[in-house]
């Protein structure tokens, strides 16, 4: 297999917080009946994680499970493991109506790191970050494109968007994090 590269090859920029493309990240879209025990079991088998409640994230180890909609999850696993994880999900859910598909390369993932990380995010997304719980994920709009964001570390937020607009979102985040423009 050819060597894979992420949309911006790990580009980063430092202002009052640091914005960096996170590189390759395995991602799987799973659409299924989230109330079915089989779905939870299948996800646990792949990630070791519980299903998140609506608008929540469960994370641990090298993975995370993000609630996207009443019948959709975004599952994060290491990039190289995504195809195998899809196969395992298909196997576990055989017979149950579901759709599991790799979307790793359809997306770009960014981290925004620093004590004032949300100051940068507040300039782009109509999200009340003060009212968000630590394990919440928010699908919203970042400037002119769709994106999702969640707190992925002590001073770190993750932002995931579509791959084709990676340069735009990076530009917006870096601009929002410009030194001297903290809120």
Partner 1 sequence: MSTRLTRGGRLIDRSAPVSFTFNGRKMQGFAGDTLAASLLANDQLLVGRSFKYHRPRGIVGSGAEEPNALMGLGTGNRFEPNQRATTTETFDGLVAGSQNHWPSLEFDVGVVNNALARFLPAGFYYKTFIHPRAFWKHVYEPIIRQSAGLGKVPHEPDADTYEQAYGFCDVLVAGGGVAGLTAALAAAKAGKRVWLVEQTGAWGGRAPVDGCEIGGEPAQAWIDATLAALGGMENVTLKTRAMVSGLYDHGYALVYERLADTTPGDGRPRHRLWRMRAGQVITATGAIERPLSFYGNDIPGVMLASAVRDYVVNYAISPGDRTVVVTNNDDAYRTALALFDAGLVVAAVIDARPRADGALPELVREKGIRVLEGRAIAKTHGSKRVTRVSVCAQVGEGAVLEEIPCDCVAMSGGWSPVVHLWSHCGGKLTWDEAFAMFRPDPTRPPLGDKGQPLAVTAGSASGAMTIREVLEDAHAAGGGEGAAPAASGPAEAPMMTAWVMPAGAPTKMRAKMWLDYQNDVKVSDVQLAAREGYTSVEHTKRYTTLGMATDQGKLSNINGLAVLSDALHQPIPATGTTTFRPPYTPISFGAIAGEARGEIFQPLRKTPADAWHDANGAHWEPVGHWRRPFCYRKPGETVHEAVNREVTNTREKLGLLDASTLGKILVKGPDAGKFLDMLYTNMMSNLGIGKCRYGLMCNENGFLMDDGVVVRMSEDSWLCHTTTGGADRIHAWMEDWLQCEWWDWKVYTANLTEQFAQIAVVGPNARKLLEKLGGMDVSKETLPFMTWAAGTLGGFDARIFRISFSGELSYEIAVPASQGRAFWDRLMKEGAELGVMPYGTECLHVLRAEKGFIMIGDESDGTIIPQDLGLSWAISKKKEDYLGKRAQERSHLADPDRWQLVGLETLDGSVIPDGLYFPAEGTNHYGQRNTQGRITSTYYSPTLKKGIAMALVKHGPKRMGEVLEFPDTEGKMIKARICDPVFFDKEGAKQNV
Contacts to partner 1 by CB under 8 A? 1-7, 24, 29, 31-32, 71, 79, 97-99, 101-107, 122-128, 130-131, 143-145, 162-168, 171-172, 175-176, 178-181, 183
CB of 173 to partner 1, least distance (A): 10
Number of Cα atoms under 13 Å in the Cβ half of residue 122: 13
Residue 48 — left, alpha, or beta (φ > 0 → left; ψ -120 to 50 → alpha)?
Answer: left
Alpha-carbon gap, residue 64 to 24, rounded angstroms: 15
- Residue 10 DSSP class: T
CB of 60 to partner 1, least distance (A): 25
Alpha-carbon gap, residue 176 to 26, rounded angstroms: 27
Residues contacting residue 53 through CB under 8 Å, at least 6 positions apart: 67
Residue 141, φ and ψ in degrees, nearest 5: -115, 130
CB of 99 to partner 1, least distance (A): 4
Nearest to 39 by CA among 118, 95, 104: 95
Contact 17/116 with Cβ under 8 angstroms?
yes
Q: 34 vs 48, which CB is nearer to partner 1?
A: 34
Contact 21/12 with Cβ under 8 angstroms?
yes
């Amino acid at each position: 297999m050819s060597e894979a590269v992420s949309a911006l090859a790990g580009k980063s920029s430092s202002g009052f917080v640091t914005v960096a493309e996170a590189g390759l990240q395995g991602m799987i879209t799973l659409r299924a009946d989230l109330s079915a025990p089989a779905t939870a079991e299948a996800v646990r088998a792949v990630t070791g994680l519980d299903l998140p409640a609506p608008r929540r994230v469960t994370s641990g180890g090298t993975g995370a499970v993000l609630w996207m909609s009443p019948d959709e999850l975004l599952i994060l696993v290491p990039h190289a493991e995504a195809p195998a994880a899809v196969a395992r999900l298909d196997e576990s859910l055989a017979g149950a109506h579901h759709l599991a598909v790799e979307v790793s390369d359809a997306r770009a993932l960014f981290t925004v790191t620093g004590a004032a990380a949300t100051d940068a995010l507040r300039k782009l997304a109509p999200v009340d970050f003060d009212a968000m719980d630590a394990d919440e994920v928010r699908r919203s709009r970042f400037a002119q494109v769709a994106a999702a964001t969640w707190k992925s570390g002590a001073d770190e937020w993750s932002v995931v968007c579509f791959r084709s607009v990676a340069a735009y979102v990076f530009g917006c985040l870096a601009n929002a994090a410009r030194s001297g423009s903290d809120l």
